[in-house]
Amino acid sequence: MDEEPGAGRGPGPLAHSTEKGTAMTIVSLSVTHRVAPVEALEKLAVPHAELAGVLGRLHALPPVDEVVVLSTCNRVEVYAATSAPVDHLTRLVSDLLATHGRVPVGEVMRMARIRVDAAAVEHLFSVACGLDSMAVGEEQIVAQIKAAARAATTAGTSGSATSNLIDAALRTSKRARTETTISTEGISLVRTGLDLADKHLGGLAGREAVVLGTGSMGKLAARLLREAGVGRLSVGSRNAARAADVAQAVDGRSLPVSDVPAELAHADLLITATGAATPVVPAGPVRTARAHVGDRPLFVLDLGMPPDVESAAGQLAGVTLVDLAVLGRHLAEWAVPDQVPQARGIVTAETARYIDRQKQAAAAPVIAALHAQIRQLADAELARLHDRLPGLNEQQQAETAATVHRILRKVLHRPTVRAKEFSTDPNGPDYLAALRQLFDLGGPPGDTAQLFTAPMM
């Protein structure tokens, strides 16, 4: 299991916290198309129907406080927040993924890339911007990250640390796609596949097409097909309502998944992206449906991970099956978008900003405790003063209190600013611990992660 260079170095954990207030580390474990063959990714992929179960098992691991799983056509990534040693967590997560995918744990550990804190943050930001995708700049990853976040929320495995991290990644993606042209210069898996289909079929206009799947890729495929001028366009899904919605949006027709093989008797193009755990288009029914069409061309674009179409279907007369492995080889020939360096610069800058914000959050409990302590002392002294001067009316007492609090705000302003500044220093935890001890603010000397809610003056 490889660790990202420098991932384990640097100043301690970021200032995320558990409900108990202990400092947490952000860890990512990634198996992607860059290091793993398609066959391995197929085994490790977490289909939507199995995601809640995998999240639950990961969350039940003792070192895991929060967890989100991002499983797409070219990556399986686990983002976890932990207050335990990183090595212990990564070994348990690797073992669970190996069991899920029926892959030797040693193979998972060999392919996995481990990133900690700043390296994990920067990686997720890069992923969200499409910079780590097979098709650089592709936009489907944004919807996939949002779906991963929703799944973790529904399963009850996310929390403030992972939620804030994903929100920041999506903001970074939006900035990169707004300020650069990576989205327009890049080419998505769907567009690449449709380009191949167009060349193979001699054009898409007037062709009959079937789209199986109504996720981000399925919806994009249906829209692009309609823009290309296809004739009859059918949309299938296990969710009949979603199929009807997508079909209506592209002036198509919806059909049950069970009717797809028969539809292939007269279709020219099939695109699948279902997220199912097993193939939903077996070779047998396809062979039966096409028994009387001879070698009439049928182009099948399988974007599923694991595959949606049984590989034997690609051996049938007239059928051309293009899967993610074929698309990957084709995409390798494309030039990298010109503005990728600018997008990477945005990722670097946003990562630094995020880390600084998290470090500043460590100062919040110290500052709040200091303000609360001073306010308590001031209020006690004001009460004694008003008892000694019973002649003060209500307005005079209020004016006296306001003056004292105004002075204290001015006195505390500079220490508050400096505490926030110190928090971003490599020695920030030591500075904050010293401030705790200097003013006897309570709590363990090194505990700067728990966020207090005491009012600040």
Q: Looking at the annotation, which residues are catalytic?
A: 73
Which tokens in the block code for residue 14?
């970021």
CA angle at 152 for the pair 148 and 156, rounded to the nearest 5°: 170
418: three-class secondary structure by DSSP: helix
CA-closest candidate to residue 381, choices 405, 409, 414: 405
Residue 209 CA, chain-centre distance (Å), reads 32
**Which residues sit opposite 253 in a β-bridge?**
234
Other CB atoms within 10 A of residue 150 CB: 12
* Residue carrying structure tokens 């994990």: 120
Classify residue 376 by burial, with Cβ atoms within 10 Å: 0-12, 13-18, 19+. Answer: exposed
Terminal Cα-to-Cα distance of the chain (whole angstroms): 49
Buried b (16+ CB within 10 A) or exposed e, 382-421: beeeeeeeeeeeeeeeeeebeebbeebeeebeeebeebbe
**Which residues sit opposite 211 in a β-bridge?**
235, 271
Strands 113-116 and 23-32: antiparallel
